[in-house]
Amino acid sequence: MLMEELLSVKYDVISGDFIRGGEASSNLKKLLNQLGIRSDVVKRICVACYEAEMNIVIHSVGGYIQAKIYNDRIEIIAYDNGPGIPDIELAMQEGYSTASEIAREMGFGGGMGLPNIKRSSDEFYITSEVGKYTKLKIIIYFD
């Protein structure tokens, strides 16, 4: 049976904005709690979304987080407008990071972001083109 999309939200994410960084994930968390999604699932979604959001803040020139909520799952697209990832396999390795000094001062740059998103997701897809974009697709089921 095809599951119907119940709700779709989209949040812009601004490059280098460490004050507002995390706001999209926070808003999404509020929404999921209102919908009565199980708290352990909400936590997994939030960790994946927050890591993806902070990746856009830290590494990109800006982008967006889009979340589509279905009866049985959430699909999150984290898209940014570059600079792209030259070696995705390397970027997926725990401990590998190209984060700036300021990102490290904020507690990031441990090289755990992408692996942690993958671990938190039921399905995870990453595509990127150097100089153009990086796109993550994260699917997490509610049960």
CB of 9 to other proteins, least distance (A): 17
Q: Is 63 in the site for other proteins (CB under 8 A)?
A: no
What is the 3-class SS of 50-98, one letter each residue?
Answer: HHHHHHHHHHCCCEEEEEEEECCEEEEEEEECCCCCCCHHHHCCCCCCC
Span 70-89, contacts to other proteins by CB under 8 A: none
- For residue 7, the SS3 value is strand
Q: Which of 106, 126, 133, 139 binds other proteins (CB under 8 A)?
A: 106
Write the single-letter amino acid at 121: S
User: The tokens of 24 are what?
Assistant: 């999209």
Q: Pick between residue 20 and residue 73 the one whose CB is nearest to other proteins.
A: 20
Q: Pick between residue 32 and residue 69 the one whose CB is nearest to other proteins.
A: 32
Q: Kindly determine how many residues on this chain lie close enough to bind other proteins according to the rule CB under 8 A.
A: 26
